[in-house]
Amino acid sequence: MNKWVRNEFMRGVQAFLPLLVGVVPFGLITGIAVSQTGISPNDGIIMSLLVYSGAALLVALQLIQLGTPILITILSALMVNLRFLMYSASLAPHFQKLSSRWKILLAYLLSDQAYAVSISYLEDPSNQKTGHWYFLGAAITMWLTWQGSLFLGMVVGVNVPPGWSLDFTVPLTFLALAVPTVKDKSTLFSALVASLAALLMNGLPFKIGVVIAAIIGIGIGAMVDEWRSS
């Protein structure tokens, strides 16, 4: 790795560092939530390596705890990760000249945080040649921090006395994820409608009401956006 490339990589690492304040607590809480499902730290870290998405992991854990059929659990996790299609479409023009190995690596390391840190840098025409190194620096920093804090949370959670019921950590983490996304009237209305729908359909088999409520909320949000723009 020459000096120029190393500098770009380190710039990506440094750009990501301020986000560690939010990533570490989220990873710890998610790790504790994993331990509360009875999954061992070893199995939990394998699951995290295969499903590199905190939100999807939490959805899967919640549904596993409820005894939801595996097909519905997988589909629900995939729905949560649909946003990565938009991220990929946004990043594709900047990485189209890279080899397949590079694209596979960067696709696996893609996260909300790495995208947020890198997209403005990548859109600068002067950074086209080395932008993937910048993204790699940010993405690897996120990956290492996430896996480390998640594992630590699982180890801590396993040693928490059974009387300290920490089942609330999963819904609490979901709440922490949802609140920052409510930035305008359409997302607020979408969140309120989805919450109400989830409560009304709470008695449906396999907790499928949660998935239906999410679809309703997304649809309502899209309708409000279209109405406001017309």
More confident residue, 212 or 136: 136
Relative orientation angle of helices 112-122 and 3-16, to the nearest 10 degrees? 130
Average of per-residue pLDDT across 52-59 = 80
Q: How confident is the model at residue 221 (pLDDT cuts 50, 70, 90)?
A: confident
Q: Model pTM?
A: 0.70
- Rounded to an integer, the average pLDDT of 152-165 is 72
User: Per-residue pLDDT for 163 more than 70?
Assistant: no
Whole-angstrom Cα distance, residue 137 to residue 126? 18
Closest CA to 52 of 121, 103, 106, 116: 106
Of the two residues 168 and 221, the one the predictor is more confident about is 221
pLDDT at 20 over 90: no
Model confidence at 89: pLDDT above 90: no
Amino acid, single-letter form, for residue 174: F
Report pLDDT digits (tens) over 191-217: 888 888 888 887 776 566 767 877 787
**CA atoms 132, 135, 139, 141: torsion sign:** positive
User: CA of 192: how far to CAs of 79, 217, 218, 220, in Å?
Assistant: 19, 8, 11, 10
Spatial separation of the C-alpha atoms in residues 93 and 85, rounded to whole Å: 14
pLDDT given for residue 10 in this prediction: 92
